[in-house]
Chain A
Amino acid sequence: MDISDLVDVQQGTLDPRIYEDEEIYQQELKNIFARCWLFLAHDSQLPNRGDYVTTYMGEDPVLVVRKRDGSVGVFMNQCRHRGMRLCRADAGTAKSFSCSYHGWTYDLSGNLVGVPSEDDAYHDEINKEEWGAIKVAKVDSYKGFIFATWDAEAPSLLDYIGDFRFYFDAFADRTEAGTELIGGAHRWVFPANWKFAAEQFCSDMYHAPISHASAVLALTPDDQDVDEEVFPMDGTKGRQFSSELGHGTGFFVESGDVLANIVGQKPADWFQGGNPEAIGRLGEARAERMRGAHATLFPNFSFLPGINTLRIWHPKGPNEMEVWAWTVVDKEAPADVKEAQRVGTGRTFSVAGLFEQDDGENWSEIQRVLRGHIAKKSSFNVQMGLGHETYEDPDFPGKINRVYCEMAARGFYKRWADMASGQSWDELMASVQKAAEASL
């Protein structure tokens, strides 16, 4: 099957087999997760030499390590001898990594430095330089967010982020001191394809007033008008942005005061105009008027600016994903703001979160329905806002639409189909260039 036929962004339709087909999933692992820049960790998780976290790039386990020279190394969390997982903890501090099967030992850069009985068993004939852990092609970090790619041909991280950088900065670059990650992580599983989550955070404000009606109700003071103040139902009160690179975000520019109800008035004010440094760095529009925002950096790194949860949607087969979610705060935010964000994020967007509980219900039930033959043959509708994009918003650059829209979903799936079907980076980046020229 030709994957590019499964996504029709002109008509706004999706073939639902993209969510459940094993063959397509293997193409994703090969052509997307083994090629894209993937978020791995925040700088503040690795303060000292030897600090490490383990994570996944697609389904491949990797070690992310603060090396002796202070830089970050990323290599397969797997012994080259017989393929055993090298490190079985989530995080810690180490001088080296020793395999629990036969004891091959790797240094903090992943070089093989020790082989038990090297003289006797191997007759001193093993070439240790040849058998170091498999290293990623490139590691880079942007404002403290560490990314890596397996693909030496991939564009630079900055080119990969592209026109989404303007919006990412509204989350990551509010102050000179940057952000820090609060300890502890929410990790849980959804019996559903990873794209449901990545796409929703990319493009879907539309679900919020319905899926999350109970949470909005529970958190809204009696004297507030939900439809006007919290989740305005007038889509012109917000914007959605879509990148040709597959990234997307949406937010309210008027009203949309959900943040105050989630984390409290003071943190909401801090994030929405109360921090002069942020206004100076980002300008008024981004510092004050990106409210209740959702965002995804293609393929599987999502965050909610203001609420300040960030997460990876790890693929675990076509029918399951594992979410790893953290809370970040501005390093120089007042202590009570940080505290309110720590508590507020966990109470709303986590496995027990007042909002996110209901997402699990939606995604897992879609996945279950897709077991059916007729279900697999019936296309999904992503037509919202089709043909109504503009490139001329005075405040927000790039391809813009109303906040209730599926333009960013179409962008996400276009990129997904182009990549999964095996387009080269030259082709992929040429289409970005072409779209940029067409928009002028």
Chain B
Amino acid sequence: MTAQLESSPVTSVSVELQHQIEQYLYQEARFLDERRFEEWLDLFSDDTYYWMPTRGVRYERELDKEFSRRDEVSHFDETKRGLEERVTRIRSGMAWAEEPPSRTRHMVHNVIIEPGDSPDELLVRCNILLYRGRLDRDVDIFVGCREDVLRQSEDADYGWLIARRSIYLDQTVILAKNMSIFF
């Protein structure tokens, strides 16, 4: 295990690990933007859990109820198999929301790494900005943050697997006709 934890006022990881994880996230974004979905799927562990809650408008005193809970409804509530089904759908040639395909650009920022629950895991937070162009004129912009659990794996091509992903968008009413893309 080479989590390379360090202790400093602003980060608990080494420059090398920070660099490695950021490059990993950029590579992942590239797979999505180049529609290399099968390679993207390989970045997820078999027991992965991919989740995006819904969000409502609440006053400050009830802000803890802003996001739906795990046992409530969500935008994404996916196992590995669920993600594979979504890719199967996109590849069918009949997924009209993605045929013709969307053009996406995933931007990943503000990567902060913390120790995970077990020695081979890291908790990786980042901000995302996702631009989607569709057909002639459709434009959607999604902004939010992700919380990933990355698990170190010798078998994985890129050294790490995404064992859990939570995505928190900064929209309540989603201002798009669909979310046929990945985050």
Contacts and interface: CB of A to CB of B under 8 A. Distances in A.
B17 interface: no
A404 B51 CA distance: 36
Interface in A270-297: none
Contact of A184 (B69, B90, B94, B97): B69
Nearest to B97: A357
A13 to B, nearest CB: 26
Interface string A297-328: 00000000000000000000000001000110
B77 A343 contact: yes
Contacts of A381: none
Contacts of B57: 88-90
Interface in B33-58: 52-54, 56-58
Contacts, number: 135
B178 A185 contact: no
B97 A358 contact: yes
B133 to A, nearest CB: 15
Given A184-B74, A218-B88, A362-B96, 18 more contacts: A91-B56, A184-B72, A185-B68, A187-B54, A187-B173, A189-B176, A189-B177, A192-B177, A214-B95, A217-B94, A339-B71, A347-B82, A351-B178, A354-B86, A357-B178, A357-B179, A361-B178, A363-B177
A212 to B, nearest CB: 9
Contacts of A188: 173-178
A364 interface: yes
Contacts of B62: 89, 92-93
B96 A218 contact: no
Nearest to B87: A218
- Top 5 A-B pairs, shortest CB-CB distance: A184-B68, A360-B177, A184-B72, A214-B95, A183-B72
Interface in A45-103: 88-93
A345 B73 contact: yes
Interface of A: 88-93, 182-192, 211, 213-215, 217-219, 322, 326-327, 339, 342-343, 345-347, 350-352, 354, 356-358, 360-364
27 contacts: A90-B56, A91-B65, A184-B72, A185-B68, A186-B174, A188-B173, A188-B178, A189-B175, A191-B177, A214-B93, A214-B94, A214-B96, A217-B94, A218-B86, A218-B89, A219-B85, A342-B71, A346-B74, A347-B82, A352-B180, A354-B86, A357-B95, A357-B97, A357-B98, A357-B178, A357-B180, A361-B177
Contacts of A218: 85-86, 88-89, 92
Contacts of B74: 184, 346
A351 B176 contact: yes
B23 interface: no
Contacts of A219: 85
A182 B68 CA distance: 10
Interface of B: 52-54, 56-59, 62, 65, 68-69, 71-78, 82, 85-86, 88-90, 92-98, 172-180
A182 B72 contact: yes
A342 B72 contact: yes
Given A219-B85, A358-B96, A364-B177, A351 B75 contact: yes
Nearest to B60: A89
A360 B97 contact: yes
B59 A89 contact: yes
A385 to B, nearest CB: 25
Contacts of A327: 73
Nearest to A191: B177
B76 to A, nearest CB: 6
